[in-house]
Amino acid sequence: MPSQPSDTSTTCGNTEYGRKSFKRSRSHFPDRITADGRDGWPVEAGRYRLVASRACPWASRALISRRLLGLEDALSLALVDPLQDDRSWRFTLDPDGRDPVLGIRFLSEAYDAREKDYPGGVSVPAIVDVPSGKLVTNDYQQITLDLATEWRALHRAGAPDLYPEALREEMDVVMAGVYRDVNNGVYRAGFATGQSEYEAAFHDLFRRLDLLSERLSEQRYLMGDTLTEADIRLFTTLVRFDAVYHGHFKCNRFKLAEDPVLWAYAKDLYQTPGFGDTVDFHHIKQHYYRVHTGINPTGVVPLGPDLSGWLAPHHREELGGRPFGDGTPPGPVPPEEEVPPSGHPERLRLGS
């Protein structure tokens, strides 16, 4: 029997909640899967399995990149239950509660296979070597950059260049600001244990969102006319904003839907193949409100907000742009990876 979700608000895996300030620790397994295999892990079709939670913004980056790049056949996918228990992420969505490829019940088993009794937490995204069952990497900052660059030989025809050489310097600066103030900023606000810490995170977050809104008012994407990794990283926070960060993490100067530019930008991405088709709003809401019992002790999940607006027109095409550059949109989602209707925004319409 799966046990109850644990209170990870104080012991949330690799994430540390100190008495005074929230600190996100470094990924413990930074090995890289590369074209030349220099860390002992060469890129190889069918060899690795991506373990992700659709609830998690860091894992969702990898879900989107994998779709945009057409890596579904080359890199298989295991999805975990949005609710961890005291053994962390588990495969309770699968028949018999076991991942059918790795044959394990808990992601921690792959961590143990790599390093027995290692002291860190178990986190997603994780990439596991299927033949040995060993965790290869949980380095969420590097995984997507490597999918974009090192996995090129296995990309679909028409895959976009998500980390173009000519833009890297500027992209790294943009992504660093988005990481500090937005991606991680919402966590700093949400898990703050003191007023001033919360207020600092809150101001950093909204100052950055104001800047991003201005940047996006005249260009369709963060780096100009074409989608890049920077958009993926901003999207994974924006798509959770009204559903969880605005209420649960107290990031409430405005709702995303109240900023016309960011809301239109986020809807545009949501409606782009490879983005919205990876999002499960049910998993997102269940995970945040039920797992973080330190900040939501009752575990009650709010019914709102009405999320059906995600499907409304965004009019961003009026800015022009070539979403996939010289490439093309990804094909349909493999049937076994479709997000169930419970996770679709039209199912999260108030009163339905």
Ligand X SMILES: N[C@@H](CCC(=O)N[C@@H](CS)C(=O)NCC(=O)O)C(=O)O
Residues binding ligand X (CB under 6 A): 8, 12-15, 24-25, 27, 56, 58, 84, 88, 121-124, 138, 140
Is residue 56 part of the annotated active site? The answer reads: yes
Which DSSP string corresponds to 264-281?
A: HHHHHHHTSTTSGGG--H
Q: Is 138 exposed, middle or buried (0-12, 13-18, 19+ CB in 10 A)?
A: buried
Closest CB to ligand X among residues 184, 226 = 184
Catalytic residue among 48, 140, 163, 187, which?
187
End-to-end CA distance of the chain: 32
Q: State how beta strands 76-79 and 48-52 pair.
A: parallel
Instruction: Name the closest residue to ligand X (Cβ).
Output: 13
Residue 339 Cβ vs ligand X, minimum distance, rounded to whole Å: 17
Catalytic annotation present for 187: yes
Tokens of 188: 């700093």
Phi and psi torsions of 53, nearest 5°: -115, 135
Closer residue to ligand X, CB minimum distance, 3 or 195: 3
> Closest CB to ligand X among 167 and 201?
201
CB of 226 to ligand X, least distance (A): 27
- Min dist. Cβ of residue 208 to ligand X (A): 19
Question: Least distance in Å: CB of 164 to ligand X?
Answer: 25
> Any idea which residue has 């950059």 for tokens?
145
89 annotated as ligand-binding = yes
Place of tokens 């319409």: 349
Closest by Cα among 124, 233, 121 to 183: 233
Q: Which amino acid is at 128?
A: V
Q: Interior CA angle at 79 toward 114 and 291, to 5°? A: 90
H/E/C letters for each residue in 88-146? ECECCCCHHHCCCCCCCCECHHHHHHHCCCCCCCCCCCEEEECCCCEEEECCHHHHHHH
Q: How far is the CB of 131 from ligand X (least distance, A)?
A: 24
Task: Closer to ligand X by CB, 58 or 324: give it.
Answer: 58
How far CA 268 is from CA of 78, 162, 241, 330, in Å, comes to 27, 17, 15, 16
Q: Which of 17, 48, 56, 198 is catalytic?
A: 56
User: Nearer to ligand X by C-beta: 15 or 328?
Assistant: 15
Active site residues: 56, 187
Q: Binding site for glutathione: what residues are annotated?
A: 89
Q: Binding site: what residues are annotated?
A: 89
